[in-house]
């Protein structure tokens, strides 16, 4: 059994996306919970897609392409990490909706 409540988890997710706009577990509503779940799912999906993006550090060749394919495979098998660029993009996309939901609108 987990020692973290649903409200704590929602607060952590929202604070992950908006670190300067902290929210406590006591302020969590069902609407904020739904929004946090939607944001987290979108961020995981986008981060999974980022695993497939090649990262050239020099002029690409056939051997580079093969190595990048292997690296992309291993990145896709990794954990549920969210890239910083994805976090910022998702946070920006949902900023207005988050603010309005937080105010109860």
For residue 1, tell me if it sits in a domain: no
In this prediction the pTM is: 0.73
| pLDDT, tens digit, 9 for 90 and up, residues 1-21 | 445 678 888 999 999 999 988
Number of structural domains found in the chain: 1
For residue 92, tell me if it sits in a domain: yes
| pLDDT, tens digit, 9 for 90 and up, residues 35-86 | 999 999 999 899 888 877 766 666 767 776 677 677 666 665 655 678 888 9
The boundaries of the domain holding residue 83 are 6-102
DSSP helix/strand/coil, 60: coil
Question: Token pair for residue 12?
Answer: 């952590």
Whether 31 and 10 have beta carbons less than 8 Å apart is answered as no
Could you count the other beta carbons within 10 Å of the beta carbon of residue 40?
19
């Amino acid at each position: 059994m987990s020692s973290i409540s649903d409200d704590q988890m929602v607060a952590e997710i929202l604070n992950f996306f908006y670190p300067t706009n902290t929210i406590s577990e006591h302020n969590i509503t069902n609407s904020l919970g739904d929004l946090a779940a939607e944001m987290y799912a979108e961020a995981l999906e986008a981060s999974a897609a980022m695993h497939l993006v090649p990262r050239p550090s020099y002029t690409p060749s056939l051997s580079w392409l093969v190595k990048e394919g292997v690296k992309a495979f291993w990145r896709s098998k990794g954990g549920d990490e969210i890239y910083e660029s994805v976090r910022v993009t998702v946070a920006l996309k949902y900023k207005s909706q988050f603010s309005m939901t937080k105010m109860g609108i």
